Amino acid sequence: MEAGVPQVLALTMGDPAGIGPELTVAAWRALRVGGPGFMVLGDPALYPGVPVRVVADAAQAAAVFGEALPVLPVGLACAARPGAPDVANAPAVIGSIARAVELALAGQVGAVVTNPISKLVLKQAGFAHPGHTEYLAELCGVPGQEVMMLACPELRVVPVTIHVSLRGALERLTADEIVRCGRTTAAALRRDFGIAAPRLAVAGLNPHAGEGGVMGGEEGEIIAPAIAVLRGEGMDVTGPWPPDTMFTPPARARYDAALCMYHDQALIPLKTIDMAGGVNVTLGLPIVRTSPDHGTAFDIAGQGVADPSSLIAALKLGRDMARNRSAA
């Protein structure tokens, strides 16, 4: 990597009973020649079938990555069994994330890439956050500034409301929140994606984007005023667009990222277009964070059939974002 950019990324353990361990092994096999290099923060026993090297820091990881999977040890409370999550291991899962963020904030790794966690398991252990995104923001000292993006080569989407029910999303949707997400997204597209003049498309909430208020008034009352604010700040923002037509190939060619009003409005088109290559990105942090766009898949864990494509894409995007951020 270029001068000034750390040579390795920090990959968290994820839930040890999920597909994270086998994805990690597959990613190392795919990337050991050519990179990006990474070290996993987990229990060395989770990664059979490949040479494992216990390391103490990122420098050691960079030195051995071509010959062995570098593991910065994070001990488990009990042995992990594929498909059988154990609440006792939740502290290790959380600790892996915290340690990775610590390394990134110290500039020792280029990015944090997170393996999938089980929100239910962590909640049963007393974890107070809805998921990775909010916990990462707290660890970075910027709670409330986080924005979730899902990205693949053909599309980037940002849900303005995230892990809440559809009813809750309607209650939480405000012009201020759309503006906040728009500002953060535009800044990230410039800094982390190398897009000098980002273009944002904003989805409507209702069918046909409300059709002039006939099918709902949120477009005129909430979304259009937010777009006006963003445009007034010099941003290239269009909308509100009918959600059922704004993800066609010709429409996607006219913007760099889409702001969507709720979780599934954003994630359904992204995962339909490229489930295997989709990447979850957290914007608004002082570090780069990416993740595969799928979950723990306990039902297939340990069977050797999990597709590592999304994790590999997350590692590559993490490297690219770190490079862009360093050059900005």
For the segment 5-60, what is each residue's pLDDT rounded down to a tens digit? Answer: 678 999 999 999 999 999 999 999 999 999 999 999 999 999 999 999 999 999 99
For the segment 158-184, what is each residue's pLDDT rounded down to a tens digit? Answer: 999 988 888 988 999 999 999 999 999
* Radius of gyration for the alpha carbons in the chain, expressed in angstroms and rounded: 20
> What average pLDDT does range 105-116 have in this prediction?
97
Mention every residue, 6+ apart, whose C-beta is less than 8 A from residue 246: 201, 203, 239, 252, 258
Q: Cα dist. 307→25, 206, 254, 276 in Å?
A: 11, 35, 31, 7
Residue 208 assigned ligand-binding role? yes
Structure confidence at residue 165 (pLDDT)? 87
Structure confidence at residue 1 (pLDDT)? 42
Amino acid at 302: G
Residue 289 assigned ligand-binding role? yes
For the segment 209-257, what is each residue's pLDDT rounded down to a tens digit? Answer: 888 888 889 999 999 999 999 999 999 999 999 999 999 999 999 999 9
Q: Which residues pair with 42 in a beta bridge?
A: 73
Which among 306, 279, 264, 257 is positioned nearest to 166, based on CA atoms?
Answer: 264
> What average pLDDT does range 72-84 have in this prediction?
96
Instruction: Compute the distance between CA of residue 85 and CA of residue 73 in angstroms, rounded to an integer.
Output: 20
For the segment 284-324, what is each residue's pLDDT rounded down to a tens digit? Answer: 999 999 999 899 999 999 999 999 999 999 999 999 999 99
Structure confidence at residue 2 (pLDDT)? 47
What share of the chain has pLDDT > 70, as a percent?
98
Checking if the pLDDT of 152 tops 50, the result is yes
> What beta strand segments (E) does 91-211 contain?
112-113, 147-152, 155-159, 199-203
Domains of the chain from N-terminus onward: 1-144+277-327 (3.40.718.10), 154-273 (3.40.718.10)
Instruction: Compute the distance between CA of residue 179 and CA of residue 297 in angstroms, rounded to an integer.
Output: 35
Q: Cα dist. 105→2, 65, 94, 134, 165 in Å?
A: 19, 22, 17, 16, 33
Which among 148, 145, 142, 144 is positioned nearest to 160, based on CA atoms?
Answer: 148
Residue 263 assigned ligand-binding role? yes
Checking if the pLDDT of 200 tops 50, the result is yes
Which among 298, 294, 288, 321 is positioned nearest to 310, based on CA atoms?
Answer: 294
Q: Hunting for tokens 């990416």 — which residue is that?
A: 290
More confident residue, 164 or 200: 200
Residue 129 assigned ligand-binding role? no
Secondary element (H or E) of residue 252: helix 249-252
Checking if the pLDDT of 193 tops 90, the result is yes
| Dihedral angle of Cα 90, 95, 98, 103, to the nearest 10 degrees | -150
SS3 281: strand
